[in-house]
C-alpha cells in the first residue's frame, strides 16, 4: 500500500484525503471548454485527467460547455469538441451540459449577492475600472458607485437585464476589497451588458455573466467535487471560493490547479491558427501539421498514443515544455504491433529483371507484421518489372553501402536475390532504368546458400497502384522559433508539406479505408486521410518516420 500511495499524483492524494475526512462522498469532475475554437493537445491532458479521476474513484464525469461569451461561440465548435472528447474515449455522464442552461440561476445568484450587500452596479467605463484597479504594487481605489443602496442596485440590475442600457454602460461588480494584494479580488466584474444573440438562448438575455462568476456556480449546481484546472487559474481560486461561500452552497467544490501541457515549437494559439487558415497556409483547423486534436486524428495519431503521451508527461504543479518527439515515440509504440507492414515506393525508379519470364505474375507469401504473427499473412504480386526507391541504387557507392549497385547482389524483400547488371540514364545523368538478373533458387528471400548484406523493398510496376502521399514536417521553422519577433507572425517552414503523386504501393493498399493505418516498410507509419481519401483512391498522410530521436528516461 505504501508504494501505491507514493505513485499517486498530488491531485489523487488530495482526493484520497478529502474522501478519508468525509469532505467528499462522490468524486465528480468535468471538462468545461469554451466553444470558441478547436481543442488542441493541451486540452487532451485535461480531458483525460478529469475523466480518468472519475473512472478511478467510480465517480462521475460531466461534459459542460462554458458558453458565457456569445461573441466568439459557434455550434461548429460545440460539435467538433464533442467529437474530440468521444474520440479520446472519455464518456460523459448523462446529457451534454451548458453554462447557458444555468443563466436563470446565475441571475438569481447575482440578485442574492446584491441583497447581501456583496455586489453593486457600477457606471465606470472599462478604462476607468482598469485605472481604479491599481497595480501589483499599489492598491486600487473604490468606485464612487460602490455604496449604492441595495434597493437601487436591484433596480439598476433589473434594468440591465431588461435592455435599458447600452453595451459597456453599466456592469455588476462584486464588493470585496480594493486593497487586496490579489488583483482578482478588487471588486471583479460579475455581469456585463452585451446585446448579442446567444447560440442557444437567442435574444432572451442582453446581460451575460463573467467566466469567474459563472464557473464556480456551474460546478456547484452540478455537484462537482473537484474543479481541476490549469495553473493560470491559481490566482483566481480565492474568487472562486468567495463566490461559492457567499452563495452558501452546500458541499462546495474544491478548485485544484495543475501544470498545462506545452509542446515546444508548435502553434496552439487560436488567433495564430485562424490566421494560418485564412491565409491558406493550412487547409483548416484539422490540417495534419497542426496539433489540434482533430488535426492529430487526421494525421493518424490514435487515442491510445495520446493517452500514453499524457501519462508520460504526468500531473505536476511545475510548469515545463515537452518535446514533440515524445509524442512521436508514443504513436510508434502504439502502432508497432498493430499496423500491417506494407511495401510502398515513394521515390520510384524502375527495375527490369531480364531473365524473369515476361507476363508472369507470382504471388509471394508475406507476413503482415513479423513481430505480431496474429496479423497473419498476405500475398504480394511479383513481376518482371518493379519499382524500388531511388535511394536504394547508386552507380558509384561509398564504402559500407550494401544496397543495389552495378555488380552487387541484394535481396528483394520476401522475394528473390537479384544482381544489378546494367542501368540507363537520361541526358542529365539521372538513372531511368536498372537491369538485373534473378536467381530462381532464392525464392522467398531467405535463401541460406550464400549471404547478401542488403535487403530492399519493392512494388510490382504492372500490378502495383499509384497513390498520393503527403509528407509532413513541422509547420514552424524551428531554427527561427515559432514567432517572428518583429511582427509577431509565425515563422512558417516552407517545406512543411511535400505532396508526392507517383508513389507506388502494393495492390492491397488501395483497399484502405479512411483512418486505416499502416507501416510503409522503411518509410514510416502512414494513415489514409479521413477527408481526401475516396473508395479505391486513398491519400496517405505520413504520421511519423520510423526513426526516433526520443529516448525514455531511465
Question: Using an 8 Å Cβ cutoff, are 44 and 77 in contact?
Answer: no
Which helix (H) or strand (E) covers residue 465, if one does? strand 465-472
C-alpha triplet 338, 341, 342: angle, nearest 5° = 140
Question: Using an 8 Å Cβ cutoff, are 344 and 521 in contact?
Answer: yes
Rounded Cα–Cα distance for residues 401 and 394 (Å): 9
Rounded Cα–Cα distance for residues 60 and 53 (Å): 9
Asked which of 30-44, 99-113, 482-496 is least confident by mean pLDDT, the reply is 482-496
pLDDT band at 483 (very low <50, low <70, confident <90, very high): confident
Instruction: Convert the pLDDT of each residue in 497-533 to its tens digit.
Output: 999 999 999 999 999 999 999 999 999 999 999 999 9
Give the number of other CB atoms < 10 A from CB of residue 406.
Answer: 16
pLDDT band at 554 (very low <50, low <70, confident <90, very high): low
Asked which of 15-19, 34-38, 141-145, 531-535 is least confident by mean pLDDT, the reply is 34-38
| Average pLDDT over all residues of the chain | 94
Q: Give yes or no for residue 224 having a pLDDT over 70.
A: yes
Alpha helices in 57-165 (DSSP H): 75-87, 103-115, 126-133, 150-161
**Same-domain pairing of 366 and 428:** yes
pLDDT band at 488 (very low <50, low <70, confident <90, very high): confident
Question: Using an 8 Å Cβ cutoff, are 191 and 110 in contact?
Answer: yes
For 145-166, b where at least 16 C-beta lie within 10 A, e where not — what string? beebeeeebeebbeebbeeebe
In CATH, what number is assigned to the domain containing residue 142?
3.40.50.620
Q: Which of 112, 121, 114, 46 is nearest to 85 (CA)?
A: 46
Instruction: Convert the pLDDT of each residue in 22-54 to its tens digit.
Output: 999 999 999 999 998 899 999 999 999 999 999
Question: What contacts 485, CB < 8 A, 6 or more positions away?
Answer: none
Give the number of other CB atoms < 10 A from CB of residue 423.
Answer: 18
Rounded Cα–Cα distance for residues 313 and 320 (Å): 10
Question: Using an 8 Å Cβ cutoff, are 194 and 160 in contact?
Answer: no
Rounded Cα–Cα distance for residues 401 and 421 (Å): 17
pLDDT attached to residue 5: 46
Looking at the structure of the chain, the number of domains it has is 3
Rounded Cα–Cα distance for residues 546 and 521 (Å): 9
- Read off φ and ψ for residue 277, nearest 5 degrees: -70, -50
pLDDT band at 550 (very low <50, low <70, confident <90, very high): confident
For 376-391, b where at least 16 C-beta lie within 10 A, e where not — what string? eeeebbbbbbbbbbee
Block residue for cell numbers 502504439? 334
Average pLDDT, integer, range 208-217 = 97
Three-class SS state of 96: coil
In CATH, what number is assigned to the domain containing residue 389?
2.40.240.10
Q: Which of 204, 239, 258 is the last residue of a domain?
A: 258
**Same-domain pairing of 154 and 254:** yes
pLDDT attached to residue 2: 43
**Same-domain pairing of 74 and 92:** yes
Q: Which of 228, 258, 288 is the last residue of a domain?
A: 258
Q: Give yes or no for residue 320 having a pLDDT over 90.
A: no
pLDDT attached to residue 273: 87
**Same-domain pairing of 153 and 245:** yes
Question: Using an 8 Å Cβ cutoff, are 184 and 236 in contact?
Answer: yes
Eight-class DSSP state of 184: G
**Same-domain pairing of 499 and 440:** no
pLDDT attached to residue 553: 67
**Same-domain pairing of 104 and 214:** yes
Q: Which of 457, 475, 496 is the last residue of a domain?
A: 457
**Same-domain pairing of 120 and 216:** yes
**Same-domain pairing of 272 and 210:** no
Q: Would you state the cell numbers that stand for residue 224, as one nine-digit string?
A: 462537482
pLDDT attached to residue 270: 82
Q: Give yes or no for residue 165 having a pLDDT over 80.
A: yes
Question: Using an 8 Å Cβ cutoff, are 349 and 290 in contact?
Answer: no
Q: Give yes or no for residue 170 having a pLDDT over 60.
A: yes
**Same-domain pairing of 48 and 159:** yes
Instruction: Convert the pLDDT of each residue in 369-399 to its tens digit.
Output: 999 999 999 999 999 999 999 999 999 999 9
**Same-domain pairing of 438 and 491:** no
Instruction: Convert the pLDDT of each residue in 460-472 to its tens digit.
Output: 999 999 999 999 9
Q: Which of 172, 226, 213, 197 is nearest to 49 (CA)?
A: 226
Q: Would you state the cell numbers that stand for residue 374, as one nine-digit string?
A: 496474429
Rounded Cα–Cα distance for residues 332 and 179 (Å): 54
pLDDT attached to residue 4: 47
pLDDT attached to residue 6: 54
Tell me, yes or no, if the pTM score tops 0.85. yes
- For 303, left (φ over 0), alpha (ψ -120 to 50), or beta? alpha
Block residue for cell numbers 469567474? 212
Block residue for cell numbers 479521476? 53
**Same-domain pairing of 156 and 286:** no
State the residue range of the domain holding 451.
Answer: 349-457
**Same-domain pairing of 327 and 381:** no
CA 509 to mean position of chain CA atoms? 27
Amino acid at each position: 500500500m505504501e508504494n501505491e500511495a507514493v505513485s499517486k499524483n498530488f491531485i489523487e492524494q488530495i482526493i484520497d484525503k478529502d474522501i478519508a475526512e468525509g469532505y467528499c462522498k462522490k468524486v465528480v469532475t468535468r471538462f468545461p471548454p469554451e466553444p470558441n475554437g478547436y481543442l488542441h493537445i493541451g486540452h487532451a491532458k485535461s480531458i483525460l485527467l478529469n475523466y480518468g479521476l472519475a473512472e478511478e474513484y467510480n465517480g462521475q464525469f460531466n461534459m459542460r460547455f462554458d458558453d458565457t461569451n456569445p461573441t466568439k461561440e459557434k455550434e461548429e465548435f460545440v460539435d467538433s469538441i464533442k467529437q474530440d472528447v468521444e474520440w479520446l474515449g472519455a464518456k460523459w455522464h448523462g446529457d451534454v451540459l451548458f453554462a447557458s442552461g444555468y443563466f436563470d440561476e446565475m441571475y438569481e445568484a447575482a440578485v442574492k449577492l446584491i441583497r447581501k450587500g456583496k455586489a453593486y452596479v457600477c457606471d465606470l467605463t472599462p478604462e476607468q475600472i482598469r485605472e481604479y484597479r491599481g497595480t501589483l504594487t499599489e492598491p486600487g481605489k473604490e468606485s464612487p458607485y460602490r455604496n449604492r443602496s441595495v434597493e437601487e442596485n436591484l433596480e439598476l440590475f433589473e434594468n440591465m437585464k431588461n435592455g435599458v442600457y447600452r453595451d459597456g454602460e453599466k456592469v455588476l461588480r462584486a464588493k470585496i476589497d480594493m486593497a487586496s494584494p490579489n488583483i482578482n479580488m478588487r471588486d471583479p466584474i460579475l455581469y456585463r451588458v452585451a446585446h448579442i444573440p446567444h447560440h442557444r438562448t437567442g435574444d432572451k438575455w442582453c446581460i451575460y455573466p463573467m467566466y469567474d462568476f459563472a464557473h464556480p456556480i456551474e460546478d456547484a449546481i452540478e455537484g462537482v467535487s473537484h474543479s481541476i484546472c490549469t495553473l493560470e487559474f491559481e490566482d483566481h481560486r480565492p474568487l472562486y471560493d468567495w463566490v461559492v461561500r457567499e452563495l452558501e452552497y452546500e458541499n462546495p467544490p474544491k478548485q485544484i490547479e495543475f501544470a498545462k501541457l506545452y509542446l515546444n515549437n508548435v502553434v496552439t494559439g487560436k488567433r495564430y491558427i485562424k490566421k494560418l487558415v485564412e491565409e491558406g497556409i493550412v487547409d483548416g483547423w484539422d490540417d495534419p501539421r497542426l496539433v489540434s486534436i482533430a488535426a492529430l486524428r487526421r494525421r493518424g495519431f490514435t487515442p491510445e498514443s495520446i493517452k500514453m503521451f499524457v501519462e508520460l508527461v504526468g500531473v505536476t504543479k511545475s510548469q515545463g515544455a515537452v518535446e514533440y518527439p515524445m509524442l512521436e515515440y508514443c504513436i510508434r509504440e502504439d502502432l508497432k504491433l498493430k499496423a500491417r507492414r506494407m511495401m510502398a515506393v515513394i521515390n520510384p525508379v524502375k527495375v527490369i529483371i531480364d531473365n524473369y519470364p515476361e507476363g508472369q505474375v507470382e504471388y509471394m507469401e508475406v507476413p503482415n507484421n513479423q513481430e505480431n504473427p496474429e496479423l497473419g499473412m498476405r500475398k504480394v504480386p511479383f513481376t518482371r518489372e518493379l519499382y524500388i526507391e531511388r535511394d536504394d541504387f547508386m552507380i558509384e557507392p561509398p564504402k559500407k553501402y550494401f544496397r543495389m549497385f552495378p555488380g552487387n547482389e541484394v535481396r528483394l524483400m520476401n522475394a528473390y536475390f537479384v544482381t544489378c547488371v546494367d542501368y540507363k540514364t537520361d541526358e542529365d545523368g539521372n538513372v531511368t532504368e536498372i537491369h538485373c538478373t534473378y536467381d530462381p533458387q532464392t525464392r522467398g528471400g531467405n535463401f541460406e546458400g550464400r549471404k547478401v548484406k542488403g535487403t530492399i523493398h519493392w512494388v510490382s510496376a504492372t500490378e502495383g497502384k499509384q497513390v498520393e502521399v503527403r509528407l509532413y514536417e513541422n509547420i514552424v521553422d524551428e531554427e527561427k522559433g515559432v514567432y517572428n519577433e518583429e511582427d509577431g507572425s509565425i515563422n512558417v517552414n516552407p517545406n512543411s508539406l511535400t505532396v508526392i503523386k507517383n508513389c507506388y504501393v502494393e495492390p492491397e493498399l488501395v483497399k484502405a479505408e479512411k483512418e486505416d493505418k499502416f507501416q510503409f516498410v522503411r518509410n514510416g507509419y502512414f494513415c489514409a486521410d479521413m477527408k481526401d481519401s475516396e473508395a479505391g483512391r486513398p491519400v496517405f498522410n505520413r504520421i511519423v518516420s520510423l526513426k526516433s530521436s526520443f529516448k525514455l528516461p531511465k
